[in-house]
Chain A
Amino acid sequence: MARNVNFDLNHPLMEAGLESPVDEEGVHDSFNQLIAEQSQNGGISDGYELQQLQRELDEEGRDDVAYLSSPVREFRGRNKGRRDVEWEEDERQTDPLIAERWSSATLRILSSMPSRTIGRSRGAIISQYYNRTMQLRRRRQSRPSIKDFSRSARPSIRGYGMEADEADGEDTEVSKRERLVNNLQNLSVTDRIRMLRAMPLSVAEKNELRRLALQKEKQTLSGSKLPCCSRLKYYIIIAVRQSWYSWLSFLHSLQLWQMPLKRVSGRFGTGVLSYFIFLKTLLYFNLFLFLVTGAFLVLPQAVHPPMLPAERRPFSGLELLTGAGCFSDSVMYYGYYSNDTLHKSCKDDGAVQNDSVSNSTGHDCVSKRLSYKMSLAYFFTIGMAFFITCIILVYSMSKSFGQSFRIDKSHSILAMKAFCSWDFKVIKKTSVKLMSENICTQLKELLAEVNHKRVKNTVGQKLCRLMVHGLAWTICIVSTAACVTGIYFFSDYMHQNLQQSSRSVNQDPLLNEASLLALPVLVSLINLLLPGLFNLAAWMEDYESPSVRTYVAISRNLMLKVSVLGVLCYHWLGRVAADPNSIGLKCWESFVGQELYRFLLMDFIFTLLDTLFGEFLWGLFSEKVLRRRRKPAFDIARNVLELIYGQTLAWLGVLFTPLLPAVQILKLLLLFYIKMSSVMMNCQAPRKPYRVSQMTTIFITLLCFPSFLGASVCVTYTMWSIKPSVSCGPFRGLQTMFQAGKLWVQEMEKHDPKLSVVARAHSYLVEHPLFLFVGAGIFLIVIYFYSQVVDGQRKIISLLQEQIENEGEDKKFLITKLQSIHEQKRTPARRLTSQDSTC
Chain B
Amino acid sequence: MGNKQTTFTDEQLEAFQDCTFFTRKEILRLHSRYRELAPHLVPLDYTNNPDIRVPLALIVTMPELKENPFRDRIVETFSEDGQGNLSFNDFVDMFSALCETSPRELKTIYAFKIYDFNRDNFICKDDLQQTLTLLTKGELTEDEVLLVCDKALEEADLDGDSKLSFSDFQNMISKAPDFLRYNHVLYSHLYLCLLLLLLLLLLLLSG
Contact = CB atoms under 8 A, between A and B. Distances in A.
B186 A9 contact: no
A403 interface: yes
A372 B18 contact: no
Interface in A373-432: 384, 388, 391-392, 395-396, 399-400, 403-404, 406, 408, 410-422, 424, 426-429, 432
Among A203, A440, A691, max chain B CB count under 10 A is at A203
A424 B98 contact: yes
Among B66, B92, B113, B177, max chain A CB count under 10 A is at B177
B184 to A, nearest CB: 5
Q: How large is the interface on B (under 10, 10 to 19, 20 to 34, 35 or more residues)?
A: 35 or more
B158 interface: yes
A254 to B, nearest CB: 7
B165 A116 contact: yes
A833 interface: no
A440 B178 contact: no
Nearest to B160: A808
A755 to B, nearest CB: 11
A728 B31 CA distance: 62
Interface in B127-148: 128, 131-132, 135-137, 139-140, 144, 147-148
B82 interface: yes
A619 to B, nearest CB: 25
A440 B140 contact: yes
Interface stretch (A217-225, A291-299, A673-681): A291-299
B60 to A, nearest CB: 12
B161 A808 contact: yes
Contacts of A7: 118, 120, 126
A119 interface: yes
A426 B24 CA distance: 26
A663 interface: no
Contact of B190 (A349, A392, A404, A439): A392
Contact of A415 (B18, B70, B153): B153
B205 A372 contact: yes
Contacts of A116: 120-122, 165
Interface string A142-163: 0000000010100011101000
Contacts of B97: 200
Interface stretch (A17-25, A85-93, A504-512, A646-654): A17-25
A436 B139 contact: yes
A827 B85 CA distance: 46
Interface stretch (A170-178, A204-212, A226-234): A204-212
Nearest to B155: A412
Interface stretch (A71-79, A191-199, A317-325, A595-603): A191-199
Contact of A436 (B69, B93, B171): B69
Interface string B183-207: 0101111110110011001100110
A288 interface: yes
Interface in B154-171: 155-156, 158-167, 169-171
Interface stretch (B2-10, B35-43, B101-109): B101-109
B20 interface: yes
Nearest to B78: A202
Interface string A551-585: 00000000000000000000000000000000000
B23 A115 contact: no
Contacts of A2: 162
Contacts of A525: none
B151 interface: yes
A443 B145 CA distance: 9
B200 to A, nearest CB: 8
A304 interface: no
Interface stretch (A269-277, A495-503, A621-629): A269-277
Interface stretch (A33-41, A243-251, A480-488, A782-790): A243-251
Contact of A352 (B92, B160, B205): B205
Nearest to A23: B82
A437 B139 contact: yes
Contacts of A207: 15-16, 19, 89
A444 interface: yes
A314 to B, nearest CB: 38
Interface residues of A, number: 120
B186 A197 contact: no
Given A270-B180, A427-B63, A801-B158, A156 B68 contact: no
A288 B175 contact: no
Nearest to B82: A20
A150 B105 contact: yes
Contact of B132 (A370, A371, A418): A418
Given A119-B113, A119-B166, A406-B174, A418 B189 contact: no
Interface string A259-279: 000000000001001100100
Nearest to B104: A152
B90 interface: yes
A160 B201 CA distance: 47
Contact of A414 (B93, B124, B152, B174): B152
A126 B171 CA distance: 22
B155 A428 contact: no
B21 interface: yes
B152 A696 contact: no
Nearest to B151: A414
A693 interface: yes
B56 interface: no
A203 B86 CA distance: 12
A152 B152 contact: no
Among B81, B82, B165, B197, max chain A CB count under 10 A is at B197
A245 B23 CA distance: 9
Given A284-B187, A370-B206, A277 B182 contact: yes
Contact of A198 (B103, B160, B174): B103
B205 A349 contact: yes
Contacts of A450: 151
A238 B185 CA distance: 23
B41 to A, nearest CB: 19
Contact of B194 (A1, A156, A292): A292
A9 B126 contact: yes
Contacts of B188: 251
Given A197-B20, A284-B190, A421-B135, A411 B161 contact: no
Nearest to B126: A6
Contacts of A446: 148
A200 B136 contact: no
A353 interface: yes
Given A6-B124, A352-B201, A202 B93 contact: yes
B80 interface: yes
A152 B177 contact: yes
Contacts of B139: 436-437, 440
A120 interface: yes
A805 interface: yes
B23 A249 contact: yes
B46 interface: no
Interface string A342-367: 00000001001100000000000000
Contacts of B158: 157, 801, 804-805, 808
Given A437-B139, A809-B160, A415 B80 contact: no
A693 B80 contact: no
A440 B113 CA distance: 23
Contacts of A400: 181
Closest 4 CB pairs of A and B: A808-B159, A412-B155, A156-B174, A20-B82
Given A7-B120, A19-B119, A97-B161, 19 more contacts: A5-B122, A19-B120, A20-B82, A22-B81, A116-B122, A118-B166, A203-B16, A211-B15, A245-B17, A274-B180, A296-B201, A372-B205, A410-B155, A411-B155, A416-B176, A696-B182, A801-B158, A804-B158, A808-B161
Interface of B: 15-21, 23-25, 63-64, 66-70, 80-82, 89-90, 92-93, 96-98, 102-106, 109-113, 115, 117-122, 124-126, 128, 131-132, 135-137, 139-140, 144, 147-148, 151-153, 155-156, 158-167, 169-182, 184, 186-191, 193-194, 197-198, 201-202, 205-206
